[in-house]
Chains A and B, each alone.
Chain A
């Protein structure tokens, strides 16, 4: 049971990292585009 719970917690971490990376990339790309407003 303890192993299953730990596995589930790991899955949660993997999930958060898994969605954060492409989101961070998208935000970075959009920020680069937004910088054109200040040049």
Chain B
């Protein structure tokens, strides 16, 4: 017979999805639930597939007067990224209060609903509706969908935080691999003499993704407070540190150093990722065809994903700080070597170099949640991780601006396009070296000498 308190706990458990009173629950259901969400919202990085057909939404076969330009369309993705970042930064407290299930159901409604509103915007040719739909409402769903599963995984897998969070974040990369060909296939199915097929594609994808996120939301739940895997004891250094409250964390140097580590690692990688096709064509003086360059981009995506899983798993074995030392030092060395890779070993060595660099870019993302949890605990993880993700948003703007500005400056000074990236790559090596120094200055909170 349940006492009144147990009934209250059961109600609370049902509403916020805790496993306090559900013995026999298999925590290995959480990673696929998290992946269902991240594979859906990862579609964000494949959004550019819609840009070209949207430039002829009126003209159908070619752009016509009144059709949107690429500059107008570029704002959709930018708005989504900014809203994602702001949501992740400020919704943490709300997420901790309402629990992961409600947060993810909200994410499903927003991400799916954003697609639907955007479909209306495309159909009625009102770009403001697309901005509001995918950019803002969808962006809100993206932010909730990004942080929530990672928060839950960190709590269920204290014994392998890196791998657990890395699985979800790998899913975000994988989401683009699904989203791009899916969009191309749907556009091909729906296009006609009177439609470029995008509005219909938005409707289908909105429904599919909303259902996938709902499936993840229903399977996800939090462990009971203080839960730990059977037979596992927390390492001594983790037992000493209590959870750090957000206000206190903001006053620590560790918070800001961690922010810089993410910002610098992402800035170095994201600029290259965005320019990869042009980079390989220009460095090899157009001897690499556009099709091969697209293949290069595809290869980088695969290594990005592999790096997210691989490096986060490595961090469970050797520790976060050592992992970041490796990522940042090796990354800096590879960037410094990259200008010579082509002349020494041709396309193969150049490609190998960048494949490794991008694997470390992904690894830096994926091992990050575990690093945050190791330093600040898990109680306020959603809030703190969300706030630290502003580094990602900042780098998302700074990285491409840096790369493009440096390239144009070089070409403006008469440097051949094939050589214009050399100085840029050396500067990126310096950016990662700075990240290396920042990582070196991070110490566990309240303990000056231990290595994390």
Contacts and interface: CB of A to CB of B under 8 A. Distances in A.
A4 B301 CA distance: 40
A4 B26 CA distance: 11
Given A1-B24, A33-B295, A36-B295, A15 B177 contact: no
Interface string A1-39: 100110011011001101100110111011101111111
B33 A33 contact: no
B39 A23 contact: yes
A37 B299 contact: yes
A11 B294 contact: no
A31 B180 CA distance: 13
Given A8-B25, A26-B178, A39-B292, A15 B32 contact: yes
B35 A27 contact: no
B177 A29 contact: yes
A23 B26 contact: no
A6 B58 CA distance: 55
Contacts of A25: 178, 181
B28 interface: yes
A7 to B, nearest CB: 9
B438 interface: no
**Most chain A CB neighbours (cut-off 10 Å) among B181, B305, B347, B351:** B181
A18 to B, nearest CB: 6
B178 A31 contact: no
B174 A15 contact: no
Nearest to A16: B32
A26 B40 CA distance: 12
A32 B291 CA distance: 12
Contact of A23 (B178, B180, B299, B301): B178
Given A22-B39, A29-B177, A5 B24 contact: yes
Interface string B170-181: 010011011011
B295 A38 contact: yes
B29 interface: yes
Interface in B258-299: 291-292, 294-299
A15 B178 contact: no
Query: 5 shortest A-B CB distances, which residue pairs?
Result: A26-B177, A37-B295, A15-B32, A36-B295, A33-B298
Interface of B: 23-26, 28-29, 31-33, 35-36, 39, 171, 174-175, 177-178, 180-181, 215, 219, 291-292, 294-299, 301-302, 305, 347, 351
Interface of A: 1, 4-5, 8-9, 11-12, 15-16, 18-19, 22-23, 25-27, 29-31, 33-39
16 contacts: A5-B24, A8-B26, A11-B26, A15-B219, A16-B28, A19-B39, A26-B177, A27-B305, A29-B177, A29-B180, A34-B296, A34-B298, A35-B295, A36-B292, A36-B295, A37-B298
